[in-house]
Structure 1
Amino acid sequence: MNADTHATSATPVGCTNFKLRQLTRRVTQHYDQHLTGSGLKITQYSLLTHVDRLGPLAPGELARRMDMSASTLTRNLQPMIAAGWLALGEGVDARSRLVHITDTGLELRRQAQRRWKAAQLSLNEKLGVATVAALHGLLDEGLAAFHEEDTHGD
């Protein structure tokens, strides 16, 4: 499926970046409201989930897998390491480090997962399951186009 599949006779109006940022802010607020009481923001929950699922991995690899810059990852990791949710352990040699989730982080993620699930179900209800599925498809296509551009050096 390509972008033309989703095209209509209307020409896009306004700034795509602004519209995406507006929606991202609203969706983030939605998830953060549901996560209230867990002690986590959605970005922290996402980091815990990625580290839990991917196992111990180098910060650079984690940043790549989460499609974020190394500096953004470092900024997000620091308070989570300080809180004892994540830790930096030894890597394959003395100069490398691996990020891993602690027992405290695992428990916090497990507790927050119920709230995340409620947020997802609530979002599905608010927007409609078909709309959320279509949105996921469009976002995946957009991300794939940028990843393709990155790998081709265009």
Structure 2
Amino acid sequence: MSKPAVVPFETTLLVRDACLCLHVQRAARALARRFDDALRPVGLTHGQFSLMMSLNRPVPPRKGDIASLLAMDHSTLTANLKPLERRGLIESEVDPEDRRGRLLRLTADGMAVLARAVPVWERAHAATEALLADGDAGRLRSDLVALSESESDKINHR
């Protein structure tokens, strides 16, 4: 009979204290709660705000471009679009250049909700940046972008 594998408790402590993935996940959850709480009075979650903001363009984007920008697969994006479509905040239409694709746009109601949400986001964002120990939000952003781009490069080359 073989002896069961054992991971020393010291390894658990090392992962708890050093794991970048764990710390980013915890921070992401805390940020999500912070922005969800802030945006609740305008009837949006942080994810819906980001999705609607990604549609705020002069030319309606393709669904695939939004999925890529938000690092979502198509089925996840579709699931996130449905509540906004039911509320009449966004709409989709057939892409005239590729009839298999869809273009996404904010409706007038969607623009109105987004306009009410932006000042809320601005206040929550400023308060969040003020919490950073060294006040260097730009450095944190660039580091996170570098990590996300290296991962999206891997995904896009599969």
> Cα distance, 1:143 vs. partner?
1.6
Query: Is the aligned partner of 1:79 residue 2:83?
Result: yes
SS of 1:37's partner is helix
Q: Kindly name which structure, 1 or 2, has the bigger radius of gyration based on alpha carbons.
A: 2
- Listed as ranges, the matches of 1:73-152 within 5 Å are 73-92=77-96, 93-128=98-133, 130-152=135-157
Matched, 1:38 2:42: yes
Percent identical among aligned pairs is: 24
Return the alpha-carbon distance in structure 2 between the equivalents of residues 148 and 73 of structure 1: 19
Instruction: Give the structure-1-normalised TM-score.
Output: 0.82
Match 1:47 to one of 45, 51, 73: 51
- The residue type equivalent to 1:113 in the other structure is V
Query: When the two structures are superposed, what TM-score results if normalisation uses the length of structure 2?
Result: 0.80
Structure-2 change in CA distance of 1:121 and 1:90 (3 Å)? same
Matched-pair contact (CA < 8 Å) for 2:63–2:101: no
Q: What are structure 1's unaligned runs of at least 5 residues?
A: 1-10
Alpha-carbon spacing, 1:151–1:63, altered in 2? closer, same or farther (3 Å): closer
CA distance in 2, matches of 1:139, 1:63: 18
Judge which range, 34-43 or 88-97, deviates more.
88-97
Structure 2: where are the runs of 5+ without partners? 1-13
Higher RCO (C-alpha under 8 Å, 6+ residues apart): 1
